[in-house]
Structure 1
Amino acid sequence: MTASVLVLASTGTAWGLYRDVTAGIVTTDVVRGDASDGAQNILLVGVDSRTDTRGNPLPDEVLRQLHAGPDTGVLNSDTIIVLHMPDGGGAAAAFSIPRDTYVDIPGYRTDKINAAYPAVTALTAQQLVKEGGRSRQEIDALSRQAGRQALVKAVEQLTGLSIDHYAEINLLGFANLTQAIGGVEVCLRAPTSDPLSGANFAAGRQTISGVDALAFVRQRHGLPQGDLSRVRRQQVFLAAVANKILSAGTLTDPARLSALIGVAQESLVIDSGWDLLAFAQQAANLAGGRLEFTTIPTEGTETIEVGSVVKVDRSKVREFVDRLVEDQERKAEEAVKATPPPPPPGPLTIIPSRYVVDVRNGSSMPGLATSVVNRMRDLGFIRGTTGNTEPTEKSVVLYTGADRKAAEEVAEQLGYIAVEASDRTVAGHLLVVIGADFDRSVIPQPADAAPDTTTPAPNAPITADGVPCID
């Protein structure tokens, strides 16, 4: 879903390819088009559909592999995410709306938000059949368009945002998408098994794709918070997919790129007014921590005549959305003003084994002296002593005599911190003093490091950076 949109945007960097990719995409006229202020709000919908994007039934064998369950005739929108892209691009924010959120649905009634699409689709189809004069294909297309419009309006009414673009992907498309990129890594705090979704996973880090990926994001039974836990799974997984597509060379691999385009053409529905070339310029920088996922505030659950619903206070939801948008706009403005990041450190041109590196920690972050000295050892330097020193604002590498070149290369490896001649050290020794400004992210984590098994706070952002362990 999110990833499919990013695929299309990122591969549409030249008009010829853009035309070829979009030629096979199903479009729908459900929104007004591009926002006038440059910012964009995109509604991303995952549908529990037993048909393809043109309404053709999926083969029974495929449905069994997807653990789709019996066909109830109801087209549920089980994944609902709004992606906010600030004017000028940069960091983006996405927030999930749980499928059981109890809201007013324009043209229908107060119900779970995932009822908007199927209910209005069914009501519209009944009315069109009654009027007569249209083919089955026309009725299907027009009724689905009305269902999508109802979902868009319900989201707008709940959040206070105007939706500028719409993207929808079905079950088969999601499974095929993850296979096309070679799967992504996730992490679970405990083993889990759910025959209804087909989920059967061990604890810890693991790479999943295809039907396993679909089961991962569909499971809600046996999880601590039910559907809210499922929302977190969707966020973690989609963040990982977006990061892999945009930062792991996926778009430069001809075979994978071809597979991604095929998935998009087979399984994606987008609004007819979307200029994907313009969106590509914004989507290109969403790798790493520049895409955050969170969830709207909720007020607990309640069982009523329509079943178990997630209660929300619309005023609190709108306040949350307003803060989120304002924060992302501020970050975008700060990014424009910020100094470009320094280039990554290059290879060492000195013989590191000729130098001893000692480290003193003058920051408030514990354990940094050990991390830094170990990093220097990994680069070939001789591991020196570590310890703490008085609080220091600026990080620096101290050297003496003819050791300036070595000090500069150590400083480069540690985020281009300052270097300074000093009588606090002797020839052949370099003294790294860590200050409050030190960026600990410049120290790579070992590939076999144990994952963080702390469950994120209920509404803490999930970013497209790292592999957080969840339920």
Structure 2
Amino acid sequence: MSALVLVLTGTAWGLYRDLVAGLTTTDVIFGGSDGDGLNILLVGVDSRTDAQGNPLPEQVLAQLRSGAEPGVLNSDTIMLLHLPADGGSGVAFSIPRDSYVDIPGYRRDKINAAYPATKALKADELVAQGIRDHKRVDRESAAAGRSTLISTVEDLTGVQIDHYAEVNLLGFYNLTTAIGGVDVCLKAPVDEELSGARFPAGPQTISGADALAFVRQRHALPEGDLSRIRRQQVFLAAVADKILSSGTLTNPNTLGALIDVAQKSLVIDSGWDVLAFARQASNIAAGKLEFLTIPTRGGESNERGDVVLVDRDEVRGFVEQKTGDNAAAAAPPPTPAVDPAQVTVDVGNASGATGLAAQVADQLAAAGFTRGSVENAGARSTSVVRHADDDDADAAGAVAAQLGNLPVERSDTAPPGRVQVLLGTDFSRAAAPTTAPAATPAAGAPPAAEPPITASGVPCID
């Protein structure tokens, strides 16, 4: 047994040492974490070079179907990943590439201009200084571009970036091949020439060039780039689930292929302890990661082209709320100050989804609460737990904790001596019993929101 442990740990350490020794790093993070969880900026770039800046062979570019011209760098995927300090559920925020923002030290422009534009300016500056070493110019100018993108995201979201990770098209292509493909599901068949996306409707497994086409398509989609973001979120969630929860990392051949992918296509900040992160990232499995898109305010055409309008204060508030929600969800629910059997709960369905109130009432009854009335209520978008008297505040808090920490309010319209639950269209089905049948929209009710994207399950999308 001792010999076996020695061999296994030795193999793991050898793989880790090989991985770290071959990774490309960049000096772009200055200063430590603020202690409020871990914030990682994930960037996907469309370029004709590998992680070391070496040109890709033409046959590889043909497989990638790369649209980038020589010397052109596009940062088309920008995502902020937040992992709470207590190891709870993570949340990833997608930032549309055309978001119209202030780029520090540059100008107001699309956010995907922050990296390539300032990289080009820095390269011109270095050449003007007489530096002729192409690799040095590329390395230093890329670091400048990455630093500007980090500052731009920090300014937009209000959070400090602790780590940076960048993957190119080659890495994405090879990653999906190394893990044996990724499961996705489409609501309708697709045949779009510009991206090369040609897929049937329904569940399917894709990899390589098909995977790239899947996440790059934005034409012929209902919401253009926003629909593409949802594609990327679903795909990355499926990748995370497959790597972290299906034994992928216990297969030496697959693990070796993943290490090779990382070395060829991944750039991370030089201060990142990837082994410590790997331990923390294990919590992402089993659906403990949700994908969201920052709020937007439509689009317009101006001197920078077609842009997506965003309000910085709104984005910051959204990020703060969602990271706080995930931290609260990770904490154990408080012990109720009252006996659940002494709490009568009335449940009103204001969401328009048939059967939802009954599902929630069943869930509360299973937790020991006394079942009250179960009925429909006037339509509303937000869910709430209400109580009429201050004496019932603890009981209302216990009910709210049972339903995923819903907001609690005192209301004169709530029945005295009881707790009232009103379920709005925002109510998360994750809090409902998993054995209940899926709810269907009532006649005349507003369409149900798209299901949340997590690293668990494969929802069908456009």
> Structure 1 CA distance, aligned partners of 2:362 and 2:123?
73
Residue 275 of structure 2 aligns with which residue?
277
Pair 12,456 (structure 1): closer, same or farther in 2 beyond 3 Å = farther
Deviations 1:413-439 (A, max 9, x none): xxxxxxxxxxxxxxxxxxxxxxxx997
Tell me which residue corresponds to 1:383: none
Q: 1:457 and 2:449 equivalent?
A: yes
Instruction: Specify the SS of the correspondent of 1:393.
Output: helix
Q: Measure, in 1, the Cα distance between the counterparts of 2:137 and 2:285.
A: 40
1:22 alignment partner in structure 2: 20
The aligned residue for residue 64 of structure 1 is 62
Mapped partners of 2:10, 2:290: distance in 1 = 23
Q: For 2:11 and 2:151, locate their aligned partners in 1 and report how far apart those are by CA, in whole Å.
A: 31
**SS at 2:365's partner residue?**
coil
Contact kept? 2:47, 2:68, Cα under 8 Å: no
Contact 1:34 1:40 in 2 (8 A): no
Secondary structure (helix, strand or coil) at the match of 1:65 reads helix
Match of 1:470 in 2: 461
* CA displacement, residues 36-91 of structure 1 (integer Å, 9 cap, x when unaligned): 41611000000011110111111112112211125153211000000001002121
Alpha-carbon distance, 1:199 to partner: 0.8
- 1:258-298, Cα deviation, whole Å (9 max, x unpaired): 11111011100000001112212211111122000000000
Per the alignment, residue 451 of structure 1 pairs with none
CA distance in 2, matches of 1:89, 1:12: 27
Residue 207 of structure 1 aligns to a residue whose secondary structure is strand
Task: Give 1:399's aligned residue.
Answer: none
Distance 1:93 1:393, change over 3 A: same
| Match in the other structure for 1:94 | 92
For 1:185 and 1:392, locate their aligned partners in 2 and report how far apart those are by CA, in whole Å. 35
**Correspondence list, 1:75-94, <5 A:** 75-94=73-92
SS at match of 2:60: helix
Report deviation, 1:117. Answer: 0.6
Offset at residue 333 of structure 1 (A)? 2.4
The whole-number CA distance in structure 2 between the counterparts of 1:84 and 1:112 is 23
How far apart, in 2, do the equivalents of 1:12 and 1:464 lie? Answer: 30
Q: Which residue of 2 aligns with 1:314?
A: 312
Write the letter of the residue equivalent to 2:301: T
Change (3 A) 1:308 1:19: same
| Superposition map of 1:27-66 within 5 A | 27-32=25-30, 34-37=32-35, 39-66=37-64
Asked if 1:394 is matched to 2:366, the reply is yes
Contact 2:363 / 2:433 at 8 angstroms: preserved in 1?
no
Q: CA deviation at 1:132?
A: 1.3
Structure 2 CA distance, aligned partners of 1:390 and 1:221?
44
Whether contact under 8 Å (1:240, 1:464) holds in the other structure is yes
Residues 1:278 and 1:366: Cα distance change in structure 2 (over 3 Å): same
Task: List runs of 5+ in structure 1 lacking aligned partners.
Answer: 1-10, 339-363, 369-388, 397-436, 446-453
Q: What secondary structure is seen at the aligned counterpart in 1 of 2:101?
A: strand
1:441 alignment partner, one of 422, 428, 434: 434
Change in Cα spacing, 1:394 to 1:271, as seen in structure 2 (3 Å) is same
Distance 1:26 1:205, change over 3 A: same
Amino acid in structure 1 at the alignment position of 2:434: S
**C-alpha deviation, 1:394, in angstroms:** 2.9
Work out the CA distance in 1 between the residues paired with 2:431 and 2:158: 40
What letter is aligned with 2:460? C
d(CA) in 2 for partners of 1:229, 1:98: 10
What residue number does 1:137 align with? Answer: 135
Give distance in 2, aligned partners of 1:12 and 1:106: 46
Matches within 5 A, 1:66-465: 66-69=64-67, 71=69, 73-133=71-131, 135-334=133-332, 393-394=365-366, 440-441=433-434, 457=449, 461-465=452-456
* Deviation, structure 1 residue 190: 1.0
**Counterpart AA for 1:468:** P
CA distance in 1, matches of 2:106, 2:158: 19
Q: 1:461 to 1:438 in 2, by over 3 A?
A: closer
| Pair 391,61 (structure 1): closer, same or farther in 2 beyond 3 Å | closer
Structure 2: give runs of 5+ residues left out of the alignment: 1-8, 336-348, 369-429, 439-445
Could you tell me the percent identity over the aligned residues? 62
> In 2, Cα distance between the equivalents of 1:391 and 1:52?
52
Deviations 1:354-395 (Å, cap 9, x if unpaired)? xxxxxxxxxx99899xxxxxxxxxxxxxxxxxxxx9998238
1:111 match: secondary structure: strand
Larger radius of gyration: 1
SS across alignment from 1:457? coil
Q: SS in structure 2 opposite 1:103?
A: strand
SS at match of 1:68: coil
Contact 2:299 2:307 in 1 (8 A): yes
Distance in 2, matches of 1:394 and 1:252, equals: 38
Distance in 1 of aligned mates of 2:52 and 2:246: 32
- Separation in 2 of the partners of 1:12 and 1:310? 50
Q: Does the 8 Å CA contact 1:187/1:468 hold for their aligned counterparts?
A: yes
Residue 253 of structure 1: CA displacement?
1.2
SS in 2 for 1:334: coil
How far does the alpha carbon of each residue in 1:152-205 deviate from its partner, in whole angstroms, 9 at most, with x for none?
011001010100000000001101000111111111111112222111111111
Structure 2 CA distance for partners of 1:133 and 1:68, relative to 1, 3 Å = closer
- Alpha-carbon distance change, 88 to 17 in structure 1, aligned in 2, over 3 angstroms: farther
The CA distance in 2 between the partners of 1:457 and 1:391, in whole Å, is 22
